Structure 1
Amino acid sequence: MKSYKGYLIDLDGTIYRGKEPIPAAKRFIDKLQEKGIPFLFVTNNSTQTPEKVVQNLSENFDIHVSVDNVYTSGLATADYVADLDEQKRSAYVIGESGLKKALFDKGFTFEEEQPDYTIVGLDYDVTYHKFELATLAIRNGSRFIGTNADTNLPNERGLVPGAGSVISLVECATQQRATYIGKPEPIIMEKALKRIGLSNNEVIMVGDNYMTDILAGIRSNIDTLLVYTGVSTHKLIEQKEIKPTYEIESLDEWKF
């Protein structure tokens, strides 16, 4: 088994299941911290700031990390658009505070009429008017960016609409496809590698979902570790031509 200098780790389904702790996950993170191995939580959730993610891990799961250990699709989106053109710093945004703060911290101003970028993520208060402004901006030449393609999110009521569902409506109205940032796209992985300061052959992507976590690793030439504590099942993986590099039932099985 190869030794890795760093770990990229999914959150929901890997470290916890909604509000339910996964005890092995805390032990896994504790071992990484004890050994001084760098790690980064890479999540498609653009709604929360890193501070909120850290607070949730501490208060609800007894996992104590810093904001430097958290990389959201909101942060990756802000990093991506900031690197495109130093002269373009206006955006119209459909999204929550996590995405908006990430963009603000990169020097973006928010513009409804003629933004350089129209950025769409999950927004719990989305309205027709917001869709209208986004559609008009994109049709007038604004570059269309989507945080992630997740169509649904699990919560206590079932599978509710995710960012991908919101973005799809704008795609339908504009007849344009967004540039997607989050897993399984390579963009978030490239930015995560830059953030952790390691190359793709020095890290491993750990997650529970083949269609996001594992595919993100595969598309970025990063080794992958699938843990069967969340979305993907043995039956699903049997049907896949490209398998995860490693498969385990619990994070307790992993040997550093």
Structure 2
Amino acid sequence: MKYKGYLIDLDGTMYKGKESIPDAPGFIQRLREKNIPFLFLTNNSTKTPETAAKNLQENFGIPALPEEVYTSSLATADYLKSLNNGNKVLIIGEKGLKQALADRGFVEEDKNPDYVVLGLDQEVNYEKFKAATLAIHNGAQYIATNKDTNLPTEHGLVPGAGSLAALLTAATRIEPTFVGKPETIIMEEALKLINLPAEEVLMVGDNYETDIMAGINSGVDTLLVYTGFTKPEDLEKVEVQPTHIVDSLGEWII
């Protein structure tokens, strides 16, 4: 089947940490040559689209535009806008999340917010968690950008946004609404942006638990590439297989 649009993961698919993936630039070039629209879809809530695009261009030779990057922060801001339940937010998060929310008209308010919005925050402190806990107890809606419990780094696996969310859940006994992959919210927002129905789009990624499950949960076909997180033996344990599997993106015929 020839797909009319692509949603493409970043880390593990376009690059791996600070390492290049040789077939990634050519894959994007082939999409451009055929005028097939695509979005880079990432759970990383800390980076702005401008920073993510610059990283792709300068470090990995992938010509990317900021408007082609859709982060869990942007999806969170778009989702909150659609709820239309106020514009005051208590934010646990970094620049990518704060800018996405500000650009959609939300204002930061720690005392009596409409929402508590949590993403990865490497400088969060006890006082911030205390304020967020009290706000949720007082009725603020609890939203988290993604449920990734760990992030791979050169030092090993470190806490991700999902681990921070678990702290607030323990303190409030309230589960957040998660937005990022594998949830359907980020996929629904991305499909609106790319302006194509689910059945005409392919989700490309290296992680079965996030990228591929996002597609499965949303009725979007999937392409798993073995350049990152998921290995062939991992698929022996899952019931629903990816629609397509390749060792490298160079094998995929667009």
Q: Give the whole-Å Cα distance in 2 for the aligned partners of 1:176 and 1:44.
A: 22
Match of 1:194 in 2: 192
Match of 1:74 in 2: 73
Match of 1:121 in 2: 119
Match of 2:237 in 1: 239
Q: Cα deviation per residue 1:88-144 (whole Å; 9 max; x = unaligned)?
A: 111000000000100000000100111000001100101001100100000000000
With normalisation by structure 2, the TM-score equals 0.99
Q: Give the whole-Å Cα distance in 2 for the aligned partners of 1:98 and 1:195.
A: 19
Structure 1 residue corresponding to 2:107, chosen from 106, 109, 112: 109
Q: Give the whole-Å Cα distance in 2 for the aligned partners of 1:142 and 1:113.
A: 10
SS of match in other structure, 2:23: helix
Q: Give the whole-Å Cα distance in 2 for the aligned partners of 1:75 and 1:232.
A: 26
**One-letter amino acid of the counterpart of residue 53, structure 2:** V
SS of match in other structure, 1:12: coil
Match of 1:52 in 2: 51
Match of 2:251 in 1: 253
How many Å apart are 1:65 and its aligned residue?
1.4
Question: Where do 1:139-158 residues align within 5 Å?
Answer: 139-158=137-156
Match of 2:98 in 1: 100
Q: Give the whole-Å Cα distance in 2 for the aligned partners of 1:231 and 1:113.
A: 40
How many Å apart are 1:239 and its aligned residue?
1.7
Match of 2:40 in 1: 41
Structure 1 residue corresponding to 2:223, chosen from 222, 225, 230: 225
Number of residues of Structure 1 aligned to a counterpart in Structure 2: 254
How many Å apart are 1:35 and its aligned residue?
1.1
Gaps in structure 2 of 5+ consecutive residues: none
How many Å apart are 1:251 and its aligned residue?
0.2
Q: Give the whole-Å Cα distance in 2 for the aligned partners of 1:67 and 1:199.
A: 23
Stretches of 4+ moved more than 6 A in 1? none
SS of match in other structure, 2:199: coil
SS of match in other structure, 2:187: helix
Question: Where do 1:205-220 residues align within 5 Å?
Answer: 205-220=203-218
Q: Give the whole-Å Cα distance in 1 for the aligned partners of 2:124 and 2:110.
A: 15
**One-letter amino acid of the counterpart of residue 42, structure 2:** T
SS of match in other structure, 1:130: helix
Q: How large is the Cα RMSD of the aligned pairs?
A: 0.6
SS of match in other structure, 1:118: strand
Match of 2:167 in 1: 169
Q: Give the whole-Å Cα distance in 2 for the aligned partners of 1:53 and 1:199.
A: 26
Q: Cα deviation per residue 1:149-201 (whole Å; 9 max; x = unaligned)?
A: 00000111111100000111001000000000000000000000011111101
Match of 1:31 in 2: 30
**One-letter amino acid of the counterpart of residue 60, structure 1:** N
Gaps in structure 1 of 5+ consecutive residues: none
